Chains A and B, each alone.
Chain A
């Protein structure tokens, strides 16, 4: 069906490595509007490979919006123009024939570029390692139904827990802050009784790690929430701030004893 076909001009960021300088490269592709954005990049790469040129490196895996591998800043917006959508779920029917699309990597000090559109997001892992867990070993835990949790609380914890760790919040933020990511884990675990026991230490450690990684501060812009493909709420940041202030008092009091 010819009317499903469109031509696009792509301005794609190319960068050899972390400490190399990069630039936009221009390519044209003819594609079908039923494709996903990443399938469009597959077409571009097939084209490049056939011309014996180096394909564009980009990260992707599940292609159904849950693994958090895909990233990209498309026309200035992380994961592109659609709300609540990861790049892999973005379909080309949302673009016009003849359009020019700018494709860039996430840009943040804490997410150095590895190659082309691929960035290093291991800072997120280190934030989780600093406290994003409940300290229980395998075995010796109570029955699953021994802890009753109010349905609405379970639902709020679940909603915070649906963060896919893609980093769009950082890319969207003018300060490259990781508050939304960090707070989603902090509030999931602080809402649940299982996570309360170490809630104070957790929030202090995770915030410290977040700062050490070189993420910026939060100035309540709210771009993170607007661009989050999973709709993680700003409320989580409020919860984390409250947890953090409370925990800071307690730790100061303990330090003075």
Chain B
């Protein structure tokens, strides 16, 4: 068995990164000008990496399947970005952010990577401000922050409920500048379909021009993937319709290990499913839990009356409501981490106390805090005798300033006014902690191939804390890869420009072409969409979702295999290969999800413990909390591909906690 080398630098944790950075090999400016790097993906990680590598002098080729780099799904991140600035003077520090992230991840993340993340978190805020990102500010003109789940400090910087948009547009502007300077060549509407390996090193990609349908060969000294997560394997998720695993999956097929695929994050506050026509789920930001209180009716009679439309939630008095998060977790209250909040919602709805027509929803209620803000405004205006409706109006304005766009979004989708009636919410697939295995340099198990942001596995363990995805994406792109890629490139300065007429390019291109033709020639009777829905909704969400157990997973594995076989016999893909063909794009992606799904199930079966987002029903404490098994499972499961339908090979990277004392994860 090949041993995994995580290449963690020696020394005390707080000095690892700074020492390593000062001693790592460098590539001189004149050599950078001769070297090429491919960056796939233009979300926070990809855009920031491409821009920064371009600034350093590398020749960057950047790819996105979108019509513009600005469309990547980072754009949809709402609530905020964490940074250990301690501007609030509330006791925050690099160590505390590091500690919260490790604990939030249920002790399944790599210490050294997470510490580095916390160290550079402050630089990200500085960088974004310098780019003109309009963060929320206080009256004094300084940056404002708010709370997020799993922390007891206010370290989350934000731009209303559109933080991801503003950060991505910042990175996009930096990328645009490099494009105009010629250091980055941008390939819009190009989808990476395979990786080209020459003498064991990543040397390029095969990409499909989505307009002409033509396959193109692109060579480079190194390939950087920033292609996001695989939540869309569930069909319904908060991901964008185009989000996919294909680039990551293709490199996995070529030898890159895929780590912890069963670690998926289920976000507690999403708008519930309303019908079987539904194509995606919409997130309501975690930041709402700063002011929203989660509850369900105490009595089953009230539940039934509400479902029958005879009673409105606002008719129920305080005594008839169960604020179950505040009741069970008094220390963190409504701001427990996502996995904890999601499971709690599952338990109460499993008891039959869920609201909404399907019974699969709980309330997120702003009335308490809305009135509190209103009274505070009344006090500062010296209006002690203000009427309730006046107080409501003032309170509404405060809430509107904080979350206006989210409230509008909710109203557009549901047709209900959340200022007047509580939101109905339910957990949904949101983020995937698992991803390509990378070492400390963010290099995968294929030399010369790197993975950043959500596409790698490294920083969030078994559960990601809110507002940490934006932090990780930008940390990887702005402040990690620009350094660590040098450790590889320094040995490549004698490598000439990669020749794309090499036989490896020809061979890989042929394989991609064959795959496309195979799909188009099946000409069966079922749409791609219907396969995707069955895979995601009927199999993965059912058996490998919020709660998993051995019989269910075994059944799911069987179902996935059967569905996959049927897909390759019976799918209908319209159109041809040499044209703009969104059906073909989708078919290629769903084909990869079909293979990934089985690996997720295998990983979930193998991990006989519960931790973070991975909840195995067989392993739980009294009261339904996760029961970790540190003795046997404190490792990263890095899977090696052995062919479709064959058993993948497990490589274990043992996790060592030198700084942090392992403890039961307690938010009570």
Chain B residues whose CB sits within 8 angstroms of the CB of A34 once the complex forms: 274-275, 277
Let me know if A236 is at the binding interface, CB within 8 A: no
The complex places the Cα of A59 from the Cα of B68 at a distance, in Å, of: 12
Chain A 101-143 interface residues, beta-carbon cutoff 8 Å to B? 114-115, 118, 120-122, 124-125, 128-130, 132-139, 141-143
Pairwise interchain contact A144-B413, C-beta atoms closer than 8 A: no
Summed over the interface, the residue pairs from A and B with CB atoms below 8 Å come to a total of 213
Name the distance in Å between A92's Cβ and chain B's nearest Cβ: 10
Pairwise interchain contact A158-B71, C-beta atoms closer than 8 A: no
Which of A63, A145, A162 meets B279, CB within 8 Å?
A: A63
Q: Mark B26-52, 1 if CB is under 8 A from A, else 0.
A: 000000000000000000000010011
Chain A residues whose CB sits within 8 angstroms of the CB of B409 once the complex forms: 64-65, 89
A57, closest chain B residue (CB):
B582
B241, closest chain A residue (CB):
A61
Pairwise interchain contact A154-B574, C-beta atoms closer than 8 A: no
With A34-B274, A49-B574, A114-B580 as contacts: A133 and B173 at CB distance below 8 Å:
yes
Chain B residues whose CB sits within 8 angstroms of the CB of A122 once the complex forms: 67-68, 188
Let me know if A85 is at the binding interface, CB within 8 A: yes
Let me know if B91 is at the binding interface, CB within 8 A: no
Q: Mark A38-56, 1 if CB is under 8 A from B, else 0.
A: 1100110010011011110
Pairwise interchain contact A125-B69, C-beta atoms closer than 8 A: yes
The complex places the Cα of A188 from the Cα of B4 at a distance, in Å, of: 48
Let me know if A8 is at the binding interface, CB within 8 A: no
Which of A189-197, A213-221, A243-251 is the contact stretch? Answer: A189-197
Pairwise interchain contact B141-A161, C-beta atoms closer than 8 A: no
The complex places the Cα of A144 from the Cα of B122 at a distance, in Å, of: 8
Let me know if B363 is at the binding interface, CB within 8 A: no
Q: Which of A52, A61, A189 has the most CB of B within 10 A?
A: A61
Pairwise interchain contact B176-A125, C-beta atoms closer than 8 A: yes
Let me know if B299 is at the binding interface, CB within 8 A: no
Let me know if B147 is at the binding interface, CB within 8 A: no
Chain A residues whose CB sits within 8 angstroms of the CB of B240 once the complex forms: 61-63, 67
Let me know if B544 is at the binding interface, CB within 8 A: no
Interface residue count for B (Cβ, 8 Å)?
82
Chain A 146-191 interface residues, beta-carbon cutoff 8 Å to B? 147-151, 154-155, 157-158, 161-162, 164-165, 188-189
Chain B 129-148 interface residues, beta-carbon cutoff 8 Å to A? 129-143
Chain B residues whose CB sits within 8 angstroms of the CB of A195 once the complex forms: 132
Which of B73, B139, B176, B241 meets A132, CB within 8 Å?
A: B176
Chain A residues whose CB sits within 8 angstroms of the CB of B122 once the complex forms: 144
Chain A residues whose CB sits within 8 angstroms of the CB of B126 once the complex forms: 141-144
Pairwise interchain contact A128-B172, C-beta atoms closer than 8 A: yes
Pairwise interchain contact B211-A67, C-beta atoms closer than 8 A: no
Chain B residues whose CB sits within 8 angstroms of the CB of A36 once the complex forms: 279, 413
Which of B160-168, B286-294, B419-427, B591-599 is the contact stretch? Answer: B160-168
Let me know if B242 is at the binding interface, CB within 8 A: yes
Pairwise interchain contact A93-B127, C-beta atoms closer than 8 A: no
Pairwise interchain contact A118-B277, C-beta atoms closer than 8 A: no
Which of B138, B159, B188 meets A158, CB within 8 Å?
A: B159
Chain B 64-115 interface residues, beta-carbon cutoff 8 Å to A? 66-71, 73, 75-76, 85, 87
With A49-B527, A66-B75 as contacts: A157 and B132 at CB distance below 8 Å:
yes
Name the distance in Å between A21's Cβ and chain B's nearest Cβ: 17
Let me know if B415 is at the binding interface, CB within 8 A: yes
Let me know if B280 is at the binding interface, CB within 8 A: yes
Chain B residues whose CB sits within 8 angstroms of the CB of A55 once the complex forms: 574, 582-583
The complex places the Cα of A181 from the Cα of B7 at a distance, in Å, of: 47
Pairwise interchain contact B277-A39, C-beta atoms closer than 8 A: yes
Let me know if B484 is at the binding interface, CB within 8 A: no
Q: Mark A9-34, 1 if CB is under 8 A from B, else 0.
A: 00000000100000000000001101
Pairwise interchain contact A129-B176, C-beta atoms closer than 8 A: yes
The complex places the Cα of A164 from the Cα of B478 at a distance, in Å, of: 23
Pairwise interchain contact A66-B162, C-beta atoms closer than 8 A: yes
Pairwise interchain contact B575-A54, C-beta atoms closer than 8 A: yes
Pairwise interchain contact A138-B141, C-beta atoms closer than 8 A: no
Let me know if B16 is at the binding interface, CB within 8 A: no
Chain B residues whose CB sits within 8 angstroms of the CB of A53 once the complex forms: 574
B274, closest chain A residue (CB):
A34
B271, closest chain A residue (CB):
A64
Let me know if A223 is at the binding interface, CB within 8 A: no
Name the distance in Å between B493's Cβ and chain A's nearest Cβ: 22
Which of B76, B415, B529 meets A64, CB within 8 Å?
A: B76
Let me know if A78 is at the binding interface, CB within 8 A: no
Pairwise interchain contact B143-A161, C-beta atoms closer than 8 A: no
Let me know if A234 is at the binding interface, CB within 8 A: no
Q: Mark A71-104, 1 if CB is under 8 A from B, else 0.
A: 0000000000010110001010100000000000
A205, closest chain B residue (CB):
B180
Name the distance in Å between A170's Cβ and chain B's nearest Cβ: 14
B239, closest chain A residue (CB):
A62
Chain B residues whose CB sits within 8 angstroms of the CB of A139 once the complex forms: 123, 127, 478-479
Q: Which of B75, B136, B179, B275 has the most CB of A within 10 A?
A: B75
Pairwise interchain contact B67-A149, C-beta atoms closer than 8 A: no
Let me know if B391 is at the binding interface, CB within 8 A: no
With A158-B160, A161-B169 as contacts: A189 and B132 at CB distance below 8 Å:
yes
Name the distance in Å between A37's Cβ and chain B's nearest Cβ: 11
Chain A residues whose CB sits within 8 angstroms of the CB of B583 once the complex forms: 49, 55
Which of B131, B176, B277, B408 meets A43, CB within 8 Å?
A: B277
Pairwise interchain contact B68-A91, C-beta atoms closer than 8 A: no
Let me know if B665 is at the binding interface, CB within 8 A: no
The complex places the Cα of A46 from the Cα of B530 at a distance, in Å, of: 9
Q: Which of B123, B132, B413, B582 has the most CB of A within 10 A?
A: B132
The complex places the Cα of A60 from the Cα of B196 at a distance, in Å, of: 30
The complex places the Cα of A135 from the Cα of B169 at a distance, in Å, of: 14
Let me know if A69 is at the binding interface, CB within 8 A: yes
Q: Mark B226-251, 1 if CB is under 8 A from A, else 0.
A: 00000000000000111000000000
Pairwise interchain contact B71-A138, C-beta atoms closer than 8 A: no
The complex places the Cα of A28 from the Cα of B52 at a distance, in Å, of: 50
Let me know if B174 is at the binding interface, CB within 8 A: yes
Chain B residues whose CB sits within 8 angstroms of the CB of A132 once the complex forms: 173, 176
Name the distance in Å between A239's Cβ and chain B's nearest Cβ: 15
With A132-B176, A144-B85, A145-B142 as contacts: A138 and B127 at CB distance below 8 Å:
yes
Pairwise interchain contact B174-A148, C-beta atoms closer than 8 A: no
Chain B residues whose CB sits within 8 angstroms of the CB of A144 once the complex forms: 85, 122, 125-126, 128-129, 135, 143, 157
Pairwise interchain contact A69-B67, C-beta atoms closer than 8 A: yes
Given contacts A120-B67, A144-B126, A157-B132, 20 further A-B contacts (CB under 8 A): A34-B274, A35-B275, A49-B574, A52-B572, A61-B71, A61-B73, A64-B409, A66-B162, A68-B75, A124-B68, A125-B69, A129-B180, A133-B176, A141-B126, A144-B122, A144-B129, A150-B137, A158-B159, A161-B133, A188-B134
Subset of 21 A-B contacts with CB under 8 Å: A32-B275, A49-B574, A55-B574, A62-B73, A62-B240, A68-B70, A89-B409, A118-B580, A120-B67, A128-B173, A129-B179, A134-B130, A138-B482, A144-B122, A144-B126, A148-B140, A154-B134, A157-B132, A161-B133, A161-B134, A194-B131
Give residues in A with beta carbon < 8 Å to B. 17, 31-32, 34-36, 38-39, 42-43, 46, 49-50, 52-55, 57, 59-69, 82, 84-85, 89, 91, 93, 114-115, 118, 120-122, 124-125, 128-130, 132-139, 141-145, 147-151, 154-155, 157-158, 161-162, 164-165, 188-189, 192, 194-195
Give residues in B with beta carbon < 8 Å to A. 48, 51-52, 55, 66-71, 73, 75-76, 85, 87, 122-123, 125-143, 157, 159-160, 162, 165-166, 169, 172-174, 176-177, 179-180, 186, 188, 211, 240-242, 274-275, 277-280, 282-283, 408-409, 412-413, 415, 478-479, 482, 527, 529-530, 572, 574-575, 579-580, 582-583
The 9 closest A-B pairs by CB, nearest first: A148-B141, A133-B173, A141-B130, A158-B134, A129-B180, A157-B134, A61-B240, A144-B125, A144-B129
